[in-house]
């Protein structure tokens, strides 16, 4: 009999993402990222993910994500970052030297997802959705209804909206136990493209990109 993990992915209102684009010649930065993630003196739960499948040119792309109940938590977190120890700042600088760009993105959680699996997730698939001008609210409503109608015993995605950088960009983040589970979920999505609701989403969006990330570290209660 398998243990089934069930639960909301830590109720949060905001998520900060430190997005790092590594140079192609940077080598494998996984351990550097894990060490830096674990060295952060913060009460905010978080998840560290990395991908070679991102659409931007270059090498690995990583997301260091932290969850907050409200915007005041972001203020506290950023103050902690600014007051980091000399040793931690060296870690951050060593990583930055291997990057072509580093950005801080803040997103607001619109719909909270849940994870159901016999083991902790190892893959996080992010779908970046750019609605056409004037159709953001409709896109959010359609996606929200889909999330609300996911059966209780199945994993559902978390929907967020960017509040910095490219504002209005929607992201669907869905954890999977492994790569096989992520691909099975994608196959289910492909089989639903003929439905009217899917066709409507295609009509009102400019682009939709699917990027799978491996989970390198995770302190989020699931």
Whether the pLDDT of residue 137 is over 90: the answer is yes
Those residues whose C-beta lies under 8 Å from the C-beta of residue 32, and which sit 6 or more positions away, are 91, 94, 95, 98
Three-state DSSP at 190 gives helix
pLDDT for 188: 78
CATH class of 5-218: alpha beta
Rg value, the chain, Cα: 18
82 close to 41: Cβ distance less than 8 angstroms: no
Whether the pLDDT of residue 3 is over 80: the answer is no
pLDDT band with cut points at 50, 70 and 90 for residue 195: confident
- Of 110, 125, 133, 107, nearest in space to 205 by CA: 133
Q: Which helix (H) or strand (E) holds 220?
A: none
- Give the bridge partners for 15, in sequence order: 67, 107
List the domain boundaries for the chain: 5-218
Whether the pLDDT of residue 9 is over 90: the answer is no
C-alpha 75: how far from chain center:
20
Whether the pLDDT of residue 119 is over 50: the answer is yes
Mean pLDDT of the region 41-55: 89
């Amino acid at each position: 009999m398998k243990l089934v993990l069930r639960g909301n992915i830590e109720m949060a209102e905001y998520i900060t993402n430190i997005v790092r684009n590594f140079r192609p010649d940077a080598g494998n930065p996984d351990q550097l990222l894990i060490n830096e993630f674990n060295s952060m003196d913060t009460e905010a739960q978080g998840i560290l993910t990395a991908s070679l499948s991102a659409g931007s040119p270059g090498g690995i792309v990583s997301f260091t994500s932290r969850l907050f109940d409200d915007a005041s938590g972001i203020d506290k977190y950023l103050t902690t970052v600014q007051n980091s120890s000399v040793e931690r700042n060296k870690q951050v600088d060593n990583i930055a030297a291997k990057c072509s760009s580093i950005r801080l993105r803040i997103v607001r959680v619109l719909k909270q997802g849940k994870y159901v699996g016999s083991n902790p997730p190892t893959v996080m698939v992010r779908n970046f959705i750019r609605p056409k001008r004037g159709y953001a609210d409709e896109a959010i409503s359609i996606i929200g209804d889909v999330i609300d109608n996911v059966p209780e015993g199945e994993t559902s995605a978390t929907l967020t909206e960017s509040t910095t950088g490219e504002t209005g960009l929607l992201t669907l983040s869905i954890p999977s136990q492994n790569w096989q589970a992520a691909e099975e979920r994608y196959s289910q999505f492909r089989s639903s493209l003929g439905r009217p609701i899917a066709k409507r989403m295609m009509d009102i969006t400019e682009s939709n990109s699917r990027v799978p990330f491996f989970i390198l570290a995770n302190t989020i209660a699931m």
